[in-house]
Chain A
Amino acid sequence: MATQSLGERKLFSFSPAMLAWLGLLGLCIVIGLVSAFQVFWNGLYITNMSDSVPWGLWITIDLSSIALGAGAFTLSAVVYLFGLKRFQSIIRLAVFVGFIGYSSALLTLVMDIGRPDRFWHPWVYWNIHSVLWEITWCITIYLTIMLVEFAPVIAESRLFNRYNWVRTAAKYLHKAAPVLALFGLLISLLHQSSLGATYGIVKSRPIWFKPSMPIMFILSAVAVGPALTMAVAYVAEWVTGKRTIPHDIMRAIARFSGFAILVYGYIRFWDLAAVTYYGRTPSVSESFNILNQQTPYNFSFWIFEILLGVVLPAVLFLTPRFNRNPAYLVIGALFAVIGILINRWNVTVGGLFVPLSYSPGTQYQLPPGKYFPGLPEWGIAVGIIGYALTMLTLGIRYLPLFGNDQHS
């Protein structure tokens, strides 16, 4: 299959459509940069976050983009751990998408912390009991692993045609890929679940404090990450007009994703039942009452998270009638991604909407934490999306992401 991509390297030229696309991406990035400047200049005051809802849209983006980058470690595990070599051809793209996801998350995190100039503190001042500390470490280590994993691909690009030593170094680096992938797998399993634990360990918030949180986070990431990689591969194929990755592999990924989404859905329902029938303390009941009465939590949970985010993708990925058609697979992946986004939003903002109750057995209650992202927050979001899509466009245009795996 690799021979297909070796012939003409005519990917896509600068057609009017391409120029319009690049213009759009440029606009997104400019919006992001202007917002970033605003935030750095004025402080987080200009966002809509507050002391009662200190985390909002940006944390949602962090969590989602890390989850969506999970295709990298899942597919690496498939190839290097389970030895299914036929998936080798999508590994590069998976690692690339993972890298974009993780770097987007880090960019958003730098915006979100109050002192971006101190972003390096977690590496110097350790608090090994903090979930967030562990996540910071894992994310940066994993980002490095992905860079090293990906270095051979960059070295292969035309840019390095004249430098032979780069190629030689990259060749040795490539030999280490399986080891790196395994180490990356370990790190990923750690922090993908820790992202759930970030909420799961907060005992003051009754609807977060449950041991199923990390499990749901990692399962949804494992399910949707590969699906996103598959969707990106299809879209790249449509745009460049070249069949780069065999379709049977893509369908296999879609079916894996479908099953994983079903497992995630099962755990989600189990969690719902467990919380409803076993863990339903008065504070949990009250929290859900507040959420259901004052926010569209119930609607967005059942419609977006379950129906569109779990049921629809599972049907599209698993039934032969749909999963033979790439368009349905891409639509399925799109909805699965939306499901992840809405889920992370619901967890974060839903949990913070419920006021804390600490006054002893009395009627005093803090007001519910109202939050809707402000303009600068949306601006950063647009900028991050612009960054991700620009990276993707440039990667597909200039990097040998597909096939060409002669030394693997």
Chain B
Amino acid sequence: MSKKKTKIKLELSRRDVLFVGGVAAGSVIAAQLLTTGPLSPFASFKQEQVEGVEESTEATTGHHWGMVINLDKCIGCEYCLRACSATNDVWVDEQLDRPEKPWNIVVEDKTSVDTPFFFSRPCLHCGDAPCVEVCPVQATYHREDGLVVMNYDRCIGCRYCEIACPYDARKFNWQARTEVNPYIPTWGIAEVDRRPRGVVEKCTFCIHRIDAGVKAGLTPGEDREATPACVNICPVGARIFGDLNDPNSQVSQAIDIEATIRLREELGTEPSVYYVIPKEGL
């Protein structure tokens, strides 16, 4: 035991140095090859995936789709909720123990001085979305045009995005639905497939309309066929939609003129939905 108490000497032979250096260099090279290089077993998957994403956004690069919701105009008629639920075939049943909430909620609210107003909320399509960050399989991703989109074929249903979303904008398919959607056909017809059991879903800004519209040369926000259902149906024009990157679009002009806020801006999520606050203030 006494031997062990002698001074500790650092003995490094040339062989040791070379060995450590070699291991370090080897690791760097191996890491490169395995992650991005030709040896990566997943290179093909990644490539397909990237190409797939780029392909769908190519047509719309340069845009940043956004919405302005005028809390002063909103009358709480819930038409946006209904049109959305019909168009996107969303199951809504708020009477259940565990309510099936719509993508688009409409609630009564009060300002700090007790003036009532109506508050509605689609998905805010954050520029720095927590749901995109936490998804373990990139089932939720950003498109270049500002939309936060879901790939229902990839989602594993872990529901971490529901946990992470600061705006409660996500909805899980707890069971397979077979019944007829009560909002169809009164409030519109389903334009997209029902999502299968076990995946998360959310408002898409009616992405199918935007994509088809842009391809056909229409302007989302101006042409009704290319505009989200909730915006089209609003009887008082409380919702407007358009390109935030285009200074002449309705949304950009509204943001210029009106006093707008974004929800929980302190979180740094950069939502694409702006709210015009009630005249009395919040």
A residues apposed to B, CB below 8 Å: 42-45, 48-52, 54-55, 112-115, 118-119, 121-122, 124-127, 129-133, 136, 198, 201-205, 352, 356, 358-364, 366
Q: In angstroms, how far is the closest chain A Cβ from the Cβ of B94?
A: 11
Name B89-115 residues within 8 Å CB distance of A. 98-99, 101, 107-112
Answer yes or no: B164 CB below 8 A from chain A CBs. Answer: yes
Q: Which of A48, A54, A113, A198 contacts B162 (CB 8 A)?
A: A54
Q: CB distance B138 to A125 under 8 Å?
A: yes
- Is the beta-carbon distance between A360 and B108 smaller than 8 angstroms? no
In the assembled complex, 11 residue pairs joining A and B whose CB atoms fall closer than 8 Å, in A order, are A51-B99, A114-B156, A121-B139, A121-B156, A130-B136, A131-B134, A358-B166, A359-B119, A361-B111, A361-B282, A362-B111
- Binding-face segment, B169-177, B180-188, B241-249: B169-177
The residue from A42, A121, A198, A205 contacting B175, defined by CB atoms under 8 A apart: A42
Flag whether B275 is at the interface (Cβ < 8 A).
Answer: yes
Closest to B100 in A: A51
Measured between beta carbons, the chain A residues less than 8 angstroms from B139 are: 121, 125
In this complex, what residue of A is CB-closest to B161?
Answer: A54
Q: Is the CB of A203 within 8 A of B130?
A: yes
Q: How many Å from the CB of A71 to the closest CB on chain B?
A: 27
A127–B268 alpha-carbon span in the complex (Å) = 20
Among B163, B167, B198, the residue within 8 A (CB) of A43 is B198
Residue in A50, A114, A136, A202 whose CB lies within 8 Å of B199: A114
Closest B residue to A114 by beta carbon equals B157
Contact A125 B163 (CB under 8 A): no
B42 part of interface (Cβ distance < 8 Å): yes
B residues whose Cβ falls under 8 Å from a Cβ of A = 42, 45-46, 49, 98-99, 101, 107-112, 119, 121, 130, 133-139, 154-160, 162-168, 170-176, 197-200, 261, 263-264, 267-268, 275, 277, 282
Question: Would you call the interface of chain A mostly helix, strand, loop, or mixed?
Answer: loop
Cross-interface CB contact of B158 among A113, A201, A360, cutoff 8 Å: A113
Most chain A CB within 10 A, of B42, B139, B162, B268, is at B162
One of B46, B119, B121, B165 near A204 (C-beta < 8 A): B165
Determine whether the beta carbon of B157 is less than 8 Å from that of A51: no
Candidates B130, B134, B175, B198; contact of A115 at CB < 8 Å: B198
Tell me whether A352 and B138 are in contact (CB under 8 A). Answer: no
Question: A126, B42: Cβ atoms under 8 Å?
Answer: yes
Would you call B136 and A51 a contact (CB within 8 A)?
A: no
Q: When the two chains form the complex, which single residue of A50, A113, A133, A360 contacts B157, counting CB atoms closer than 8 Å? A: A113
Q: State whether A51 touches B162 (Cβ < 8 A).
A: yes
Contact of B264 among A55, A201, A358 (CB under 8 A): A358
- A356-B137 Cα distance, complex, nearest whole Å: 25
Q: Once the chains bind, are B137 and A122 in contact (CB under 8 Å)?
A: yes
Q: Judging by beta carbons under 8 Å apart, are A112 and B138 in contact?
A: no
Inter-subunit contact A362/B156 (CB<8 Å): no
- Chain A's nearest CB lies how many Å from the CB of B182? 19
Question: Is there contact, CB below 8 Å, between B112 and A362?
Answer: yes
User: Across the interface, do A44 and B198 meet the contact criterion of CB distance under 8 Å?
Assistant: yes
Q: Which residue of A lies closest to B266 (CB)?
A: A203
Residues of chain B with a CB closer than 8 A to A126's CB = 42, 46, 138
Contacts of A45 in B (CB 8 A): 174-175
